[in-house]
């Protein structure tokens, strides 16, 4: 189910390359918290395979609500709005309506990452089909900690600290595992004009990754290298010390119990 929370214990086991205390580990930790928070907010989506269980009337009503939500935040974002304002408006609208597909999951995840982990650089990437492919497979997700000197279009250059935060799919992993876990959404209409969704494995021969939304140059974001804020350190949360960031408190403790 698309609202099932991510188990950080499984994340650690599946990403043994991220050593505790490393930037990659901190990014996984943050990504898990952020993704779980988003999955607690967004209650329904049209493009996840779980939505195949909806009858046509339910799916159509949900699709209309998502379209209305997009029309509202698109209208509010018109004019002389900078990217920060666009992110704020979109995330607030999604949080209010509690519906959305992968673009809404990604925007809300980026906003929550920015709020809770301001020193972590996050961006939204999209899966697109390469020219010539007839079938359309699409998806959007957040990448945390990409090397600012890397090529956005070449995930093999993103660096060992890069982590994928895919709140829609309920998956978090380092870039080293992108060919294993990353999937796009492929949808079509059946004989009764009902949308059917399936997951399609990311294939570099067929798909490409495109930087879809970023707030600023990654070079402007400097993660702490010596003194790490307590919010980034699992051990400090394990001691249940109070901090000045109440957001995600329940989620932090849930994840810490799995460390």
Give per-residue pLDDT as tens, 210-234: 999 998 655 555 554 433 344 444 4
Query: Which residues have a Cβ under 8 Å from the Cβ of 157 and sit 6 or more positions away?
Result: 147, 150, 151
Burial class (CB in 10 A: 0-12, 13-18, 19+), 53: exposed
Structure-derived torsion over alpha carbons of residues 154, 218, 216, 6, reported in degrees to the nearest 10:
70
Q: Other CB atoms closer than 10 Å to residue 246's CB: what's the count?
A: 9
Burial environment of residue 202 by CB neighbours within 10 A (0 to 12, 13 to 18, 19 or more) = buried
pLDDT, position 137: 81
Please check the confidence at residue 154 and state whether its pLDDT lies above 90: yes
pLDDT of the residue at 1: 63
pTM for this prediction: 0.85
Location of structure tokens 């990217």: 83
């Amino acid at each position: 189910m698309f609202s099932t929370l991510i188990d950080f214990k499984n994340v650690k086991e599946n990403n043994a390359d991220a050593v505790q205390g490393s930037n990659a580990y901190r990014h996984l930790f943050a990504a898990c918290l952020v993704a779980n928070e988003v999955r607690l907010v967004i209650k329904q989506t049209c493009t996840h395979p779980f939505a195949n269980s909806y009858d046509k009337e339910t799916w159509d009503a949900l699709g209309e609500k998502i379209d209305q939500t997009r029309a509202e935040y698109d209208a509010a974002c018109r004019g002389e709005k900078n990217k920060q304002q666009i992110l704020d408006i979109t995330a607030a609208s999604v949080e209010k309506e509690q519906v959305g597909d992968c673009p809404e999951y990604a925007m809300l995840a980026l906003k929550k990452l920015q709020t809770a982990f301001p020193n972590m650089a996050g961006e939204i990437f999209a899966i697109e089909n390469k020219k010539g492919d007839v079938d359309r497979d699409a998806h959007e997700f957040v990448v945390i900690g990409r090397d600012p000197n890397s090529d956005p279009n070449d995930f093999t250059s993103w660096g060992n600290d890069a982590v994928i935060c895919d709140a829609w799919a309920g998956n978090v992993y380092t870039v080293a595992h992108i060919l294993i876990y990353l999937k796009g959404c492929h949808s079509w209409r059946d004989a009764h004009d009902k949308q059917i969704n399936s997951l399609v494995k990311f294939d570099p021969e067929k798909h490409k990754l495109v930087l879809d939304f970023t707030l600023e140059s990654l070079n402007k974001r400097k993660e702490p290298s010596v003194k790490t804020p307590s919010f980034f350190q699992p051990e400090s949360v394990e001691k249940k010390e109070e901090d000045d960031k109440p957001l995600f408190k329940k989620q932090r403790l849930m994840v810490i119990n799995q460390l």
